[in-house]
Amino acid sequence: MPPVVERFVLALGRVLAWGFLAIVALMVYEVVARYAFNAPTFWAHEISGILAAVAFVFGGAYCMAEGSHLRIGIAVDGAGRRFRLIAKTLGLFCGLLYLGGLTLAMWPIVQKSLFRFTPDGLWMPERSGTSWNTPAPSFVKFALLLGAALFALVVIVHLVRVLRGRSDATVPDGGGES
């Protein structure tokens, strides 16, 4: 049974995948409203962008938890098991460094975008600048922060699994998913 982090990421991914169906429905509605009734929406495109951004941000963690992430195995597939284990560990460690750096770098960006207040104390997050002018950029940046942190947690789970020697499922004998 996968750890709680992976179960959470897989459940979240299945929920967020429905966002793509919502995007299709929104775009169909927009096209019909625009061309059949000459009444285009001012919100459909922006909502579609938010839904897609959030789903893509969490998609990396989902693919890693599910084991469907991309792997270029030409350099390691023909190598011995020990080399594959070292390559897997190094790859996970590099991924963790990148995602940890991304998470840390996103925090001041999120603070600057989301936690903005006027002198009289009104909340004024960064806005899209569209006719609807939602705080979408702030929330997408916050989603990127959460997505990177969640992805890093999944990488930690995989790294711990490899370092504990439970690498039979994570280091194939060649040619398979890792």
- What does the domain layout of the chain look like in residue ranges? 4-163
First to last CA, the chain: 17
**With contact defined as beta carbons under 8 Å apart, do 100 and 44 qualify?**
no
159 contacts 86 by C-beta, under 8 angstroms: no
CA–CA dist 21, 137 (Å, integer): 22
Q: pTM of the entire structure?
A: 0.84
Q: Per residue in 29-79, pLDDT tens?
A: 999 999 999 999 989 999 999 999 999 999 999 999 998 877 777 878 788
Helix (H, G, I), strand (E, B) or coil at 53: helix
Tens of pLDDT, residues 132-175: 889 999 999 999 999 999 999 999 999 999 998 876 444 444 44
Instruction: Please give the distance of CA 86 from its chain centroid, rounded to a whole number.
Output: 26
Give the separation between CA 50 and CA 46, rounded to whole angstroms. Answer: 6
